[in-house]
Structure 1
């Protein structure tokens, strides 16, 4: 198994809690399986004799049900605890993925992928809630970057494995996905520490009202940043750049894969420095700088003159994305430090999902009625607004951050 990014611990900084390491391993196994399925899913769905609209509906069903289920995940965490809900969510995705391999009709695939989206929401919200709650403020950036490193490494390994499995059978990737999820769920149940909600003797931490969190400028800036990141990185970047390469630069789909792979490696390498920067310099400058760089870069991508320039720009965006994935989540942890409950994290996650759902639709429409630069410009505006929102965050020295956290306590 590829090694997760090594985040060297600066002198005086505490080690990452064990739960953070475990969550990084879980993230790797989850994303390996997801990466195996993604390239195969459209081809598999087409075998049921449906059109491209129906193929898109299957992809959207996962995201839409994930978005719809997220608001309920916070309350479920209050009742069951992060560890139990994480394992339950992974179990739902595993079972639904295995059943997709046995599906006899398009409708069955559509329903099962929707169910997988519900399980994914349960896993994602509970994992991030546990990660932020179990990590001191001085290490929160490093913890988030380590966790995202597991996703990135899994995402790079998954498609390669999926291509090999697809030569055996179009259903084999779905069974492989179920297997990696079973491993991830087992790791979570065995190695994650139990929390007070799940029956420990420690007194439970107070439940922070969501209205209080919403008044915190750190939380509002983080949610706007996550929305802009979802719109651009998960939506516009993934949906339009492959088309841009083929239609404008006269390249092939293979070119896109090469450029994305190089950018993913650069982003993975940048995660360690990003985590340390967020912890030592601050969340505010990280969000401000990264989102400004991303805004300018996404505009430049739309007018890239050739594939080489496009690849360099994607690498620059990858460096910014390392900070964009780390600083907002750390800011959410700061805003909710000392409190239990997953509703703030659920809303934070929904902001990204909303951007990822709306971004490709709006961007695609803008390309049809206007141009590629117009579509990328809207993404750049959202990134710029996210950067400016960081100016409302309080200036804070790293040593002033709340140090609450620790497995089983907050």
Structure 2
């Protein structure tokens, strides 16, 4: 664990830069795709295909990192991300844009699970939540600054943000190459694997419930993200610029909580308590969102939701890597896969619910949160039952 103090800040910088790259293209991609002939439906598929690649390949990359080490897999992920951004910037036809997104989704799905596995390698069980929270904070801040940068450079040309994102990722690749040390010793690389170990080995016993819990949390969050712009416009007359400020406020608040509070709370009370508090606070946030009537109420209520939601993923990651015996990469890869599944299903489901009644995505968010709480109780009961029989 001696490399913890040195490696965590480097990992923070790496994930921040990776997510800045993601964020840069967010405000530009719909207009860029439209320019090369994409319809709204095709744009939806263009967004979804990236998450689909993450869903399929994140467990594979996590497992590979258990075998060959974290550093080379992180480098593959970041290099692939850089290449995909440049390919998108060069795309003049829709199929080229789809090809770039597929390549980017396939290779960059290595990043998140491997970085989380790296954190698990270099932290003690007591400090695991703090390390996972720092990664979450880097992700949140990257999404705060990225879209602002993308918006500024899109004024030069619509392709410029993609080149900026590609360059940023390329620089990050060299940051990993020269500054990040390998966290997984050769002795530890194969000790958790047998010849016939399944890719889904992590999905067994009581731990399987935690993966499903993450799916429900991801479903509720992505449903909100897909519909909130329309909801805020109807309820409070908020425009795109104001919405940008709202998500920036939520992102900063979430990053602060993840970077500081998660570590303190998990160390004092344990991940289970923090997961449950997070679910309850985000459920309250969903309920409050139904009462939005101005920018101020939107900012406060969305931030309450963001704080609650923000502590859940790092705490689940920390708990999984503590309890799983199939390798940190396998566990975090499978978790990323379930998160991606929620991000694929959530937006169309949220959109459909919104079309039925504008408050339904947030009422369903409350219901999904209650289900998540019940799932956690099931996890604790099943864990105790397994422990008592051993």
TM-score normalised to the size of structure 2? 0.89
2:59 to 71, 84, 93: 71
Q: Which 5+ residue runs of structure 1 have no aligned equivalent?
A: 1-12, 396-410
Q: CA deviation at 1:393?
A: 4.7
1:33 aligns to 2:21 (yes or no): yes
Q: 1:239 to 1:203 in 2, by over 3 A?
A: closer
Cα distance per residue 1:51-108 (max 9 Å; x no partner) = 2222222212211122122232234224432211110111111112111111121110
More helix by share: 2
1:60 aligns to 2:48 (yes or no): yes
Mapped to 1, the partners of 2:165 and 2:82 lie a distance apart of: 7
Give the corresponding residue for 1:389: 375
Aligned with 1:214: secondary structure? coil
Alignment of 1:174-253 (within 5 A): 174-195=162-183, 200=186, 202=187, 204=189, 206-207=191-192, 213-217=202-206, 219-233=207-221, 235-253=222-240
TM-score normalised to the size of structure 1? 0.85
Bigger Cα displacement from structure 2, 272-281 vs 184-193: 184-193
Mapped to 1, the partners of 2:4 and 2:366 lie a distance apart of: 34
Question: C-alpha root-mean-square deviation of aligned residues, in Å?
Answer: 2.3
Give the corresponding residue for 1:327: 315
Cα distance per residue 1:148-183 (max 9 Å; x no partner) = 111122221112211221111211111111111112
Alignment of 1:9-408 (within 5 A): 16-195=4-183, 200=186, 202=187, 204=189, 206-207=191-192, 213-217=202-206, 219-233=207-221, 235-271=222-258, 272-336=260-324, 340=327, 342-368=329-355, 370-394=356-380
Whether the 8 Å contact between 1:231 and 1:356 is mirrored in structure 2 is yes
Aligned residues: 376
Mapped to 1, the partners of 2:316 and 2:184 lie a distance apart of: 27
Whether the 8 Å contact between 2:235 and 2:293 is mirrored in structure 1 is no
Whether the 8 Å contact between 1:63 and 1:117 is mirrored in structure 2 is yes
Q: CA deviation at 1:392?
A: 4.1
Mapped to 1, the partners of 2:52 and 2:317 lie a distance apart of: 22
Q: CA deviation at 1:227?
A: 1.3
Aligned with 2:191: secondary structure? coil
Whether the 8 Å contact between 1:227 and 1:355 is mirrored in structure 2 is yes
Give the corresponding residue for 1:9: none
Q: Which 5+ residue runs of structure 2 have no aligned equivalent?
A: 382-390
Whether the 8 Å contact between 1:14 and 1:139 is mirrored in structure 2 is no
Q: CA deviation at 1:187?
A: 1.6
Q: CA deviation at 1:221?
A: 4.3
